[in-house]
Every structure is written in structure tokens, then in C-alpha cells.
Chains A and B, each alone.
Chain A
Amino acid sequence: MTTINPTVNAARAGFARGREEIRQTFTNSQDLWNYLFPTVIFLVVMFFMRDATVPGTEFSLGSRTLPSVVGMGIAFGGLVTTMMSLAIEREDGTLLRAKAIPTGMFGYLVGKIVTVAGMTLAAQVLVIVPSLFLLDGVQLNSFYAWFTLAWVLALGLIATLPIGAVFGSLFSNPRNSGLIMLPIMGLVAISGIFYPISSFPEWLQGLAQVFPIYWLGLGMRSAMLPDGLSAVEIGESWRHLETVGVLGAWAVAGLVVAPMVLRRMARRESGSSIAERRDRAMQRVT
């Protein structure tokens, strides 16, 4: 018998876990609806925005919104999906099961990354493909465009996923984690997703540029829109260097903090802590 490295083995099992979870999402009407519903809304919004123009240009505001929405979608996938599923799976005991199995926690995390990344990707495809038929001016016809899209997507996920995991570990009650949706929605409003922010007060612009949502939107616009449109962005440029800088900083911070927070959370999991949460949840139901 050949010896198998337990860590490599767990990574493979984690991949299988993630694949299975993605398959389950696509065969579950409830989950599928959760992904399709916002997509439909965005498509309708963008469709009605197609005749409005980006201020100072002739370019369709709807077409400008598409890449921004994709950038926001990546941030949401990394932050919110990760956070919610960690909080829920802590409460229902999924994490404790992983803890009771050798290398199970590592496999669980690999599985979570595969699931979140896979579903985020799928959700963006769901937005992009129909938009290409509905909207004019979106250009995804060069290698450079796809290359930019790929690296912004990858870096965006690395920047947001660990942060989502940190928030997910901090909330012991998944319903409380909904609270964090308010500031995130606020960030969306000031991050230039649906309207350019170059006309906003400078302090608001500055605030938006601290967080990943703005940079993900900008990065995706740089991938999908004609070069001339960089003129309406802050600094009249796509600012790739700054995009890498800010998203990279979030990625590093997340990758340093997340393992610590996750380990601390995992240490505290036990049968009785699950039972306690179950009882509390039952009380909420009745």
C-alpha cells in the first residue's frame, strides 16, 4: 500500500466536498432561486438604464453598470456567502463534524473555498451572458480583456473570502450576521457600482477607496469597457497598480487574521455548544 499524505488527501476530499456542494446548489430550486433572483433584478435595472448615459460621455449607463455589478458580485460572494455559510454551519454542527474527523477542518475549508469560488463564478456568468445580448458597448473580445477579468476576479476572491470567514467566525448567531449587511449595502452605495462617484464629496470617495468593493468594480470596468471610459474614473485612469495594492493589502490582512480567528473558533466548538445554539434556535422558531 502506498502511503498517502494526509494533508494532500484532505485537500482532495475538500475539493470533492466543494464540487458536491455546487452540484447540490444547482439541483436545489431554493438555492438556485437565491442566485437567479438578484441576477434577474440586475438585468432588468441595467436594461432600463441602457438609454441613460454616463455623465460627460455618450456611453450607456447600463453597460457601465454591468462590470460594476460583476465586481460587486465577487465581493458579495467572497464576503457575504462565506460569512453566512460559516455562521450557519457553525450553528448546525457541520463544523463540529469536520473537527471530529482527522484533517477534517482543513478539508472543510478547502471545500468552502471551492464552493464559494465556484458559485461566485457561476453567478457572474449568469449576469454576464444575457447582458452581452441586452447591452451595447461591453467589450470582452480581446485576450487582454479576459486576462484582466481573470486576475481581478482571482485577487478579488482572495481579498474578500478570508475577511468573510473572519466575520462568519465572530457571529455565534447567524441571524445577527445579517447586521453586517447594512454597512455592506452602504459601501455599495458609495462605491460607484450603479453611478460614477467622481461627483461625490472627496471624503466619501476616500472612504470608498479603502474597501474592496470599489476596486473590484473599477477592475471589472477596466476589463469590459472601452479604454476611453477611464476618463470618467477618479484620476482619469483604470489605476491597475492601486487596484492590486488595495486588494492585495486586504488579501494579506485576511490571510493573516483568518487562520487565527478560525482556529480560535474551532477550538471552542463542542457538542454542548452546538446543543446550546440548537436550543436557542428552536426557541426562535416556536
Chain B
Amino acid sequence: MAVVDETGVPAQDVRPEAEDAVLDVRDLRMRYGTTDVLKGVSFTAHPGEVLVLLGPNGAGKTTTIEILEGFRMRSAGEVRVLGVDPAHGDETWRADLGVVLQSWRDHGNWRVRDLLQQFGRYYAPYSNDRITKPWDTDELVEAVGLTEHAGKKVRRLSGGQRRRLDVAIGIVGRPRLLFLDEPTAGFDPEARRDFHDLVHRLSDSNTTILLTTHDLDEAEKLADRIMILAGGTIIADGSADELARRMSTESEIKWTVDGRRFVHSTLDATAFVRELFVEHGETLGDLEVRRASLEDTYMSMVKQFESGAAEAAVREFTAVTR
């Protein structure tokens, strides 16, 4: 388990060697004016891992990912992306990265196949003995499920099709590391499922993926590891199972005594229930013990965070997960 305390130093996990890490972020800080958006973010990622950066809106997910993409300067901290500081990454470095951008109305007059062909051309000089770049256009179109629409103009695509094109553009250079910022915003359930399949296929081919979302359900479905970003630091880091187990320590207990109903939340349900039996014995009835799910805990944290009580929310959340 990789519990991270507020200073960003892993409490239990042994940090792997930086050389085999695709991403190595230590004490990343970002300040806009007088506002600290990131207050010391640290994490690593290994080849083929799917990392999900989860957090409420405004938690700094986009800022983090843009710093890693080399699109934004950081205020402080050590960052290595594929072994290179993204602030000084050259074109060869860039050729190993995939960035999935949100399209809006750019390249509306281009046909899907022509556009992928055009963007693919730039990667040709960066082929090596391990990998041939770019991805073959027709194979790529098929991989993202746009074969029927390959001859369509981009502006004639539906929202979901357009998003698949964005992903195709992001992976046309067969990246070793792929960034996806809120990839499924505005997706219908089917498009979402298709997209999840695509992410799994990419990670099977050893592409490391970092994606951001504020949707816990999505994080659970995709992630090898979830990192929860809130209040400028990573407040939890682990697989979905690990996080769920850790957070489900908080339970809600309902019971009646002589027909009167009671509710209580506690970290140690077993001890509390033992007490109840000792105290009330035969008069105790309708006993119900329900463990709070990861989602319950996360949602209450998000709700508090968005209502402005950020510090308190993070403190509470951290206490629960400890």
C-alpha cells in the first residue's frame, strides 16, 4: 500500500529506481499569483501502468498533467517524464508522448483519414528498431472504431466519434506514454464503454497511461492505480481495491431499542456493536451495519471540497483513510 502523508513522502511504499519509471514526480509545486494549486505532489508510474488522477474539479489535475506534457512551467519540484525534464524536452522526447486534446471545431474541413495521415507523417523520422512509427492509418482508424467514418469530414462527426478521433490523433505516433485529460467528459454510456475498451487494449500493448477524471466509477474501471488529488496534494494512492478496503473502515450502524431508532457512524463497527449488546442485551433490535463504500467517502469529500471547505474535507478524508 502506498499511503502518502501530507508532505507527499510515501509512508510505506519503497520508491522504485527513477530509471525504470516512466513518470517520476517529486514534490511538484505550482503557484498562480498567491494561490498554491499544487503543494507538493509526488508519484511514479511504471511501463504499462494505467494511472488515474482522480479529484474534484479545481483540484489541480489539469495543471499537473499540463506540466508533465511540457505545456506549462512548474514553480518547483523534480519532474522526469520518460527520463527527461518536460520543461526541456526536445522533439525526440515529444515523439514518444501522446497527448489527447479536447477537440472543439479545429480541422473541421479535414477528412478523418487525411487528418490522421497528416499528423502521422511527423512521426516517421522517430521510428526505431523496436517500433515503427506512425501507426498505419487504416489500422488506427479501425482500432478506434471509425472505419465507417474515415471519409467523413471532421465537422460531420458526432461528439463521441470526434472524441475517438482525438484519441486516434493522440496515439498516431505509437507513444510510450499517453496523457488523457478528462477523456470521457460528455460521453454517453456506450461511448464510455468503447473508450474503456480502447484504454485497456492500449495498456496491454505496454503503453503507460495517465488520465484524469472526477468520476470515481471510471477510475475504478480503468485504473491499475488511483491517485486522489485534493487540496494540492495526493491524499490517497493505491489500487481501487486497496482504497476501498482502507476507506470502508467507516461504517454506519442502525438499531432500535424498545422501538426507538438510532444511527451512529464509527471506524470500529465490531467494538461498537459489542458495546451495544452489553448495554442493551435483549432489548436491542433491527441491527444493521453498513460499511461506507469508497464512493460514499469520496463523494462526501468532493461535496465538502466544492462547497469551499477544502481543508476540512481533505483532513477528514485523510483521517478516514489512515
* Distance of A32 from chain B, by nearest CB (Å): 12
Picked from B94, B102, B121, the residue with its CB within 8 Å of the CB of A13 is B121
A89 CA to B104 CA in the complex, in Å?
Answer: 11
Residues of A contacting B121 with CB < 8 Å? 9, 12-13, 16
Q: Are B106 and A9 in contact (CB under 8 A)?
A: no
Q: Are A4 and B124 in contact (CB under 8 A)?
A: yes
Q: When A28-B109, A102-B92 are in contact, do A274 and B101 touch as well, CB less than 8 Å? A: yes
A25 CA to B300 CA in the complex, in Å?
Answer: 53
Q: Are B126 and A101 in contact (CB under 8 A)?
A: no
Residues of A contacting B187 with CB < 8 Å? none
Q: Type the 1/0 row for B85-126, where 1 means its CB is closer than 8 Å to any CB of A.
A: 000000110110101011111110110001000110111111
A107 CA to B125 CA in the complex, in Å?
Answer: 14
Q: Type the 1/0 row for A1-41, where 1 means its CB is closer than 8 Å to any CB of B.
A: 10111100110110011001100100010000000000000
Q: When A24-B110, A103-B91, A271-B66 are in contact, do A5 and B125 touch as well, CB less than 8 Å? A: yes
Closest Cβ neighbor of A9 among chain B residues? B125
Interface-facing stretch out of A92-100, A162-170, A184-192: A92-100
Q: When A20-B114, A102-B123, A102-B173 are in contact, do A93 and B91 touch as well, CB less than 8 Å? A: no
The answer to whether the Cβ of A233 comes within 8 Å of any Cβ in the partner chain is no
Q: When A97-B169, A278-B104 are in contact, do A270 and B123 touch as well, CB less than 8 Å? A: no
A103 CA to B125 CA in the complex, in Å?
Answer: 10
The answer to whether the Cβ of A283 comes within 8 Å of any Cβ in the partner chain is no
* Distance of B74 from chain A, by nearest CB (Å): 13
Residues of A contacting B122 with CB < 8 Å? 6, 9-10, 13, 101-104, 107
Q: When A6-B91, A102-B91, A271-B101 are in contact, do A97 and B106 touch as well, CB less than 8 Å? A: yes
* Distance of A10 from chain B, by nearest CB (Å): 6
Q: Are B106 and A92 in contact (CB under 8 A)?
A: yes
Q: Are A274 and B104 in contact (CB under 8 A)?
A: yes
A271 CA to B170 CA in the complex, in Å?
Answer: 13
The answer to whether the Cβ of B62 comes within 8 Å of any Cβ in the partner chain is yes
The answer to whether the Cβ of A141 comes within 8 Å of any Cβ in the partner chain is no
Residues of A contacting B57 with CB < 8 Å? none
Residues of A contacting B123 with CB < 8 Å? 101-102
* Distance of A268 from chain B, by nearest CB (Å): 9
Q: Are A92 and B104 in contact (CB under 8 A)?
A: yes
Q: Are A101 and B72 in contact (CB under 8 A)?
A: no
Q: Are A102 and B71 in contact (CB under 8 A)?
A: no
A176 CA to B247 CA in the complex, in Å?
Answer: 52
Q: Are A9 and B66 in contact (CB under 8 A)?
A: no
Closest Cβ neighbor of B153 among chain A residues? A24
The answer to whether the Cβ of B181 comes within 8 Å of any Cβ in the partner chain is yes
Closest Cβ neighbor of A89 among chain B residues? B106
A3 CA to B127 CA in the complex, in Å?
Answer: 9
Q: Are A100 and B106 in contact (CB under 8 A)?
A: no
* Distance of A283 from chain B, by nearest CB (Å): 14
Residues of A contacting B63 with CB < 8 Å? 272
Picked from A12, A13, A94, the residue with its CB within 8 Å of the CB of B107 is A94
Picked from B66, B106, B114, the residue with its CB within 8 Å of the CB of A270 is B66
* Distance of A272 from chain B, by nearest CB (Å): 5
A100 CA to B181 CA in the complex, in Å?
Answer: 14
A269 CA to B73 CA in the complex, in Å?
Answer: 12
Closest Cβ neighbor of A99 among chain B residues? B71
Q: Are A272 and B99 in contact (CB under 8 A)?
A: no
Residue among A21, A93, A96, A100 with the highest chain B CB neighbour number at 10 A: A100
* Distance of B87 from chain A, by nearest CB (Å): 11
The answer to whether the Cβ of B242 comes within 8 Å of any Cβ in the partner chain is no
Residues of B contacting A256 with CB < 8 Å? none
Q: Are B118 and A17 in contact (CB under 8 A)?
A: yes
A79 CA to B123 CA in the complex, in Å?
Answer: 32
A10 CA to B63 CA in the complex, in Å?
Answer: 29
Q: Are B107 and A3 in contact (CB under 8 A)?
A: no
Q: Are A1 and B127 in contact (CB under 8 A)?
A: yes
Residues of A contacting B27 with CB < 8 Å? none
10 shortest A-B CB distances, which residue pairs?
A: A270-B71, A13-B121, A102-B91, A100-B99, A102-B95, A92-B106, A4-B125, A94-B106, A6-B125, A24-B109
Residues in chain A within 8 A of chain B (CB atoms) = 1, 3-6, 9-10, 12-13, 16-17, 20-21, 24, 28, 89, 92-94, 96-97, 99-104, 107, 269-272, 274-275, 278
Known pairs A89-B106, A93-B104, A274-B104. 8 more at Cβ < 8 A?
A: A6-B122, A6-B126, A12-B121, A16-B118, A20-B110, A94-B107, A97-B119, A104-B122
Could you write out 12 A-B pairs with CB less than 8 Å apart?
Answer: A4-B124, A6-B91, A6-B122, A10-B122, A17-B118, A93-B103, A99-B71, A102-B91, A102-B122, A270-B72, A272-B66, A274-B104
